[in-house]
Amino acid sequence: MKNISFVLLLVFGCLSSNPDLLAQSSSDHDGKWIDLTYPFSEKTLYWPNNPRGFTFDTLFEGVNDHGFYYSSYSFFAPEHGGTHLDAPVHFAEGRQTVDQIPLERLMGEAVVIDVSHRALDDRDYQIQIEDVTIWEKKHGPLPEDVIILFRTGYGKFYPDPLLYFGTDLKGEEAIPLLHFPGIHPELAAWLVDNRSVKAVGLDVASIDYGQSTEFMSHRILLGENIPGFENVANLDRLPAKGIHLIALPMLIEGGSGGPVRIIARINK
């Protein structure tokens, strides 16, 4: 009992001497956590020319020779598909790989900019500078070191490839048929030059819109070591601001991307 009392006094003393830690601890209880990740399964969507998608195989499941239950599985997954991270090196030679991205870039204050009223009317919509400045007129300037999540409304179509991608065909012949929104390269350059952005995310399959062949928004943002989150789920459940986001990818050494678990806390 004395040992327990000592530990409790020690913890309370640490919290009392660090108001920020105390506030952070209590806010975890006051906030609401939202999972922004699609589960990985045979339904997971990948770029149509990927030769293989997610596979999940049973190594052992059942009662073993020693008489107790045991299960173990193996999985295969391309780097880019489902809810995943684009590391800067994905489109920018010499930039950060997955394991080189600083943790502070993968967590922090986030906002949601909703462009669904435009994007759902135009599958080839490219998010404009005006979409950001209109958001700022309503909600105030973007915070420093912010993570921007763009909601196009296409998350409601996942995992239906025809509605989500614009085509359900597979292979190289499907690439010209991709139709979904993305970030206009002019906006990507404007964010780099005029705002302080940690990362960007969208509820579609790519930072660039489906008809892109040059992938300029990828090249601009990733070239500045600004990572991207693609196929982000449940953006319709988030407010415009008051969000703390954590996005932790599989730590693939030298990787250009990988599956990521993204969660967001809505601050009360």
At 226 the three-state DSSP class reads coil
Contact 268, 32 (CB under 8 A): yes
**Residue numbers of the chain with a pLDDT score lower than 50:** 1-28
Domain ranges of the chain: 78-266
pLDDT score of 20: 41
pTM of the model: 0.88
Provide long-range contacts, Cβ within 8 A and 24+ apart, for 138-142.
138/240, 139/111, 139/240, 139/241, 142/111, 142/195, 142/196, 142/197
- CATH code of the domain made up of 78-266: 3.50.30.50
Letter for the amino acid at 210?
G
152 contacts: CB under 8 Å, gap ≥ 6: 115, 116, 119, 120, 125, 127, 180, 181, 202, 203, 204
pLDDT score of 31: 80
pLDDT score of 10: 37
Task: Report how far residue 148's alpha carbon sits from residue 145's, in angstroms, rounded to the nearest whole number.
Answer: 10
pLDDT score of 30: 63
At 160 the three-state DSSP class reads coil
Return the ∠ at Cα 80 (arms to 230 and 190), rounded to 5°: 40
pLDDT score of 13: 46
pLDDT score of 250: 97
